[in-house]
């Protein structure tokens, strides 16, 4: 079975631009979460989606938005990019938000802002 | 205040030795979950082991075990018989209920280096 897949793997943007990152969860997983990991730190929670509804939101500005599609895949959008948005963006899936099952992560998208 | 504290920025161990990676947590919720993940230099986060707050026994998964001391709010990862491939960053995380959903709160990580 395929794991969590994310695209693209690498991305270079300039300040002020907008970016869209994509995630496909493990088959059968209906919950998708997004995390930001800056260099040298642990991942920080951005969003959680379940059944196309936002279930949780971390402490990130409104420039960050996301959505989940009927097939449970998800997109993370970041507008008006800042240098500080340079990070590894990780997507994780789980069967449902309240499950004790672990969240399984994709390989991430490395976003560099010039 | 930090909810997950990993006090060891780096740990060094020789092959075949055991190593303990420390993790303390802070929560007032009686129901929570604790996870350990491994992150090699390539970047992917690999799930290792899970401990629920109500679990009576310490979790074990192959060479990984979790030394769960609830009263001390610690959840240390023990890796037995270290291998060169264990060299990576290790993160302790706590599942936090966030209204209707759940988020993982991560520590800053510990870099483990295994030498031959």
With CB atoms and an 8 Å threshold, state whether A56 touches B52.
Answer: no
Determine the residue of chain A that is closest to B40 in CA distance: A107
DSSP string over B39-64: E-TT---EEEEEEETT-SS--EETTE
Report the SS3 class of residue B67: strand
Helix (H) and strand (E) counts in chain B: 0, 12
pLDDT at A64 over 80: yes
Taking contacts as CB-CB distances below 8 angstroms, the residues of chain B near A60 are: none
What whole-number percentage of chain A has pLDDT above 90? 87
Considering only CB atoms, A45 lies closest to which of B33, B43, B103, namely B103
pLDDT at B2 over 80: no
Structure tokens at A91: 């997507």
Taking contacts as CB-CB distances below 8 angstroms, the residues of chain A near B50 are: 100, 102
Report the SS3 class of residue B33: strand
Determine the residue of chain A that is closest to B41 in CA distance: A107
Q: How far apart are CA A105 and CA B11, in angstroms?
A: 24
With CB atoms and an 8 Å threshold, state whether B43 touches A56.
Answer: no
Taking contacts as CB-CB distances below 8 angstroms, the residues of chain B near A88 are: 43
pLDDT of residue B93: 96
pLDDT of residue A63: 97
- CB-CB contact of B111 with A42 (8 Å): no
DSSP string over A26-60: PTT--EEEEEEE-TTS--EEEEEEETTEEEEE-S-
pLDDT tens digits for A78-88? Answer: 999 999 999 99
Best probe of the A interface among B8, B98, B101, B110, by most A CBs < 10 A, is B101
pLDDT of residue B101: 66
- Model confidence band, residue A91 (pLDDT cutoffs 50, 70, 90): very high
For the residues A19-46, what does the mean pLDDT come to? 96
Taking contacts as CB-CB distances below 8 angstroms, the residues of chain A near B52 are: 100
- Model confidence band, residue A29 (pLDDT cutoffs 50, 70, 90): very high
pLDDT tens digits for B24-52? Answer: 999 988 888 999 999 999 888 999 999 99
pLDDT tens digits for B90-113? Answer: 999 998 765 556 789 999 999 999
> What are phi and psi for residue A83, nearest 5 degrees?
-55, -35
The alpha carbon of residue B50 is apart from the nearest alpha carbon of chain A, in Å, by: 7
pLDDT at B1 over 60: no
pLDDT of residue B98: 55
Structure tokens at B102: 């759940």
Q: Tell me the CA end-to-end span of chain A in Å, nearest whole number.
A: 37
Taking contacts as CB-CB distances below 8 angstroms, the residues of chain A near B101 are: 31, 48, 50, 55-56, 97-98
């Amino acid at each position: 079975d395929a794991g969590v897949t994310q695209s693209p793997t690498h991305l270079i943007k300039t300040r002020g631009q907008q970016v869209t990152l994509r995630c496909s969860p493990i088959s059968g997983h209906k919950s998708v979460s997004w995390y930001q990991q800056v260099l040298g730190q642990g991942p920080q929670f951005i969003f959680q989606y379940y059944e196309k509804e936002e279930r949780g939101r971390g402490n990130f500005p409104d420039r960050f938005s996301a959505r989940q599609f009927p097939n449970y895949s998800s997109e993370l959008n970041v507008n008006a990019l800042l240098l500080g948005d340079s990070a590894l963006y990780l997507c994780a899936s789980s069967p449902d938000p309240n499950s004790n099952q672990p969240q399984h992560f994709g390989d991430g998208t490395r976003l560099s802002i010039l | 205040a930090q909810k997950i504290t990993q006090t060891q920025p780096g740990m060094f161990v020789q092959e075949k030795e055991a190593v303990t990676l420390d993790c303390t947590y802070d929560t007032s919720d009686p129901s929570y979950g604790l996870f350990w993940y491994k992150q090699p230099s390539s970047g992917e986060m690999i799930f290792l082991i899970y401990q629920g707050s109500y679990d009576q026994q310490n979790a074990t998964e192959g060479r990984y075990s979790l030394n769960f001391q609830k009263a001390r709010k610690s959840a240390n990862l023990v890796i037995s018989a270290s291998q060169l491939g264990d060299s990576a960053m290790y993160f302790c995380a706590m599942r936090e209920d966030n209204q209707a959903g759940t988020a993982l709160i991560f520590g800053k990580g510990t870099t483990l280096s295994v030498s031959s």
